[in-house]
């Protein structure tokens, strides 16, 4: 037997990270299938390939910390504890969905878990995240707020305006920029001046850190440090995670026209889940059998969620006028 690696983190934590990443992967693959079979209305924006970022960040959070999510939000929601059953029902527009079918694929939220909504306006959630950080600071319980957003969103003026305010007021806010290399169909470097958001963040007076967004341990460690700093009242920070989405911009885009095969193959070698699996095996935290069992268990759960959601009813038409006002 070869020498075992020492686990970089608590085994239970690593297992949980692995489970959440797998859940995201299987969920996204299932949504794709649901779309392909015509079981869902509209389109979906999948995040398979990007699992390490939301999971690494969210495992550094407390239950009462909040996140804001994006159009590509399924991963954030699962990472923060969202359940696949009401998620899948929401994707299909069923009344059993998190938002009773009113939100849809792009707007899944579970406010009780601190998930303050996903946003179809790219960058639109940055204000909400900063606002949550304001309340958190006011409450004084060390709660933090995380804003997930993409490399494209990073060029919206709202980032700049809230970053200025967050630094000034020392808000416990972590900007997590998932740089998946593309803003829709265009490479981020064609759309982003200078060296990117981490450098800009530093110019605003906050830490700007970049990490391998496909390494869940690295993401976790970086996030943890920034989160703890924010909890201590030392203000906001920006964490840029470099990653890739495997699929297209949405389920209708194969994602091949603007990306090369080689590029994608390079990224596949850095698959976040495989890396985590290797780590679990090499540290002896999980046996190959346990890995296999975990995969099966989660896969089954997601499949069941699909089956159940298919059976579930659409919302009754009377609900159309509900929830406009509180």
Site for its own copies, rule CB under 8 A = 155-161, 163-168, 190-195, 199-200, 202-206
Tokens representing residue 27 in the block: 């969920």
Cα 14 from Cα 276, distance rounded (Å): 8
How near is the Cβ of 10 to ligand TPP at its closest, in Å?
Answer: 30
Which of the ranges 14-22, 151-159, 276-284, 307-315 carries the binding residues for ligand TPP, by CB under 6 A?
151-159
Task: Please state, as a whole number, how many other Cβ atoms lie within 10 Å of the Cβ of residue 282.
Answer: 14
Q: Note whether 247 binds Mg ion by CB under 5 A.
A: no
Question: Measured from the CB atom, is 290 or 320 closer to another protein?
Answer: 320
How near is the Cβ of 143 to its own copies at its closest, in Å?
Answer: 22
Secondary structure (DSSP) of 192-260: --TT-HHHHHHHHTS-EEEEETT-HHHHHHHHHHHHHHHHTT---EEEEEE---SS-SSTT--S-SSS-
Tokens 């797998």, located at residue: 22
How near is the Cβ of 61 to its own copies at its closest, in Å?
Answer: 24
Q: Note whether 200 binds another protein by CB under 8 A.
A: no
Distance of CA 125 to the CA centre of its chain: 13
Query: Which residues of the chain form beta strands (DSSP E)?
Result: 66-68, 145-150, 173-179, 182-183, 186-187, 208-212, 237-242
167 to 206: interface string for Mg ion, x by CB under 5 A: -------------x--------------------------
18 to 47: interface string for another protein, x by CB under 8 A: -----------------------xxx----
54-83 residues near another protein, rule: CB under 8 A: 66, 68
């Amino acid at each position: 037997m070869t020498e075992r690696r020492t686990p970089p983190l608590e085994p239970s934590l690593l297992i949980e990270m692995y489970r959440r990443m797998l859940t995201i992967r299987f969920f996204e693959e299932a949504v794709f299938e649901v779309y392909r079979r015509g079981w869902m209305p509209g389109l979906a924006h999948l995040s398979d390939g990007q699992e390490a970022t939301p999971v690494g960040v969210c495992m550094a959070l407390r239950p009462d910390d909040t996140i804001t999510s994006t159009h590509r939000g399924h991963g954030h929601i699962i990472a923060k504890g969202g359940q696949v059953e009401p998620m899948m029902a929401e994707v299909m527009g069923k009344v059993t969905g998190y938002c009773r079918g009113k939100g849809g694929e792009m707007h899944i939220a579970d406010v009780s878990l601190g998930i303050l909504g996903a946003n179809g306006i790219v960058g639109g959630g940055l204000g909400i995240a900063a606002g949550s950080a304001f309340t958190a600071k006011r409450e004084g319980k060390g709660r933090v707020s995380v804003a997930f957003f993409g490399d494209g969103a990073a060029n919206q003026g709202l980032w700049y305006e809230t970053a200025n305010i967050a630094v000034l007021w020392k808000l416990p806010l972590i900007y997590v920029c998932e740089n998946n290399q593309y803003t829709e169909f265009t490479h981020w470097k064609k759309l982003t001046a200078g060296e990117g958001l981490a450098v800009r963040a530093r110019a605003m007076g906050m830490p700007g850190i970049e990490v391998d967004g496909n390494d869940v341990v690295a993401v976790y460690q970086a996030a943890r440090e920034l989160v703890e700093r924010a909890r201590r009242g030392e203000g906001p920070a920006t964490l840029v995670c470099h990653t890739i989405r495997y699929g297209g911009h949405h389920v209708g885009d194969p994602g091949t026209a603007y990306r090369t095969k080689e590029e994608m193959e390079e990224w596949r070698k850095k698959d976040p889940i495989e890396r985590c699996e290797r780590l679990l095996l090499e540290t002896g935290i999980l046996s190959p059998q346990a890995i296999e069992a975990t995969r099966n268990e989660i896969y089954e759960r997601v499949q069941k969620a699909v089956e159940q959601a298919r059976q579930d009813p659409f919302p009754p038409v009377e609900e159309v006028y509900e929830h406009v006002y509180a």
